[in-house]
Amino acid sequence: MISTAAPTQQAIQMTVEASAEAQRLDRWLATALPDRSRSEVQRWIKEGLVVVNGTVAKPSHKLETGMVVQIRMPIQPAESDLQAEALPITIIYEDDDLLVIDKAAGMVVHPAPGHQGGTLVNAVLHHCPQIEGVGGERRPGIVHRLDKETSGLIIVAKNDRAHRYLQAQFKNRTVFKEYLALVEGHIEPAQARIVAPIGRHPSDRLRQAILPADQGRSAVTEYRVVGYYSLPVRSNNASANFSLLSVLLHTGRTHQIRVHLAWRKHSVVGDTLYGYRKPRLPIERHFLHAHHLRFRLPSTGEEQEFMAPLPPELQKVLDMFIKDYKDY
């Protein structure tokens, strides 16, 4: 059977000429591909889509004459591919500039290869069609992202002015972002800051990993134990231990919380990518929820905060436990 699905990537190969000697890879590609932005090129490189002489390279890689650069360039979906869909979304707040949405687990934020419909963008386009084109055609209105299986608060801008204003807050790290995460084991100490660079896993494109400082991007995660929990294990008369954490993000790397906590040997419950392949609790998603956001409104400059309670499927997991330490 021959597949008729549209390709999602285009393979390109180029040879570095003498005029590009000693240039940065990202700058050279942005010049060589004038219809693509430098930020887009940098994203391809960080996602492992650009190979120099057979090796995945960094954006700052210095070019030499004769080097062979191979790119698996993502094919941009046409504007008409973005369709408004009447999908259920929970709107926490709305004004003329933005929406604050409590995203359900299982919903992808924006269209991408394999997820051209059923996304948060499709739902928001139905609710407010004026966001089409805001901040870019492929991800209209999107200021920041949540993983597919992460629930909770996300901001969507309604106009370009608000989009720029909100993006600047994220870039300057003035947005307060708190998550609730249930992790494996009793984590110690009860409060700590994790500082470890993160980048694309060298051999698995689906995963991120802790990398040396010169290879990864700086990443800072702070956590505080909200409560320790135990569940009896009948087979050996012991207990399975878990910790509920309040987690603050000081940077916004892909899968940051999940990677940092797994690196500390306390993976997020239900995270089959970085933790147990088979969840030890009856859960069909990872236990990570964007619980609390605080930022300045574009309209007034005033600081506002929003909170979203745990969704029922996560609260049900907590209700199973015997808490053996009082809350901090």
Report, as residue numbers or ranges, the catalytic residues. 147
What DSSP string describes 95-161? -SSEEEEEEPTT--SS-BTTBSSSSHHHHHHHH-GGGTTTT-SSSTTB-S---TT-EEEEEEESSHH
Q: CA 181 → CA 7, 154, 255, 278, distances in Å?
A: 37, 17, 13, 18
Q: How far apart are CA 92 and CA 298, in angstroms?
A: 17
Give me 179's structure tokens: 């998550």
Q: How many CB atoms lie within 10 A of CB 76?
A: 13
Residue that the structure tokens 């992808």 belong to: 108
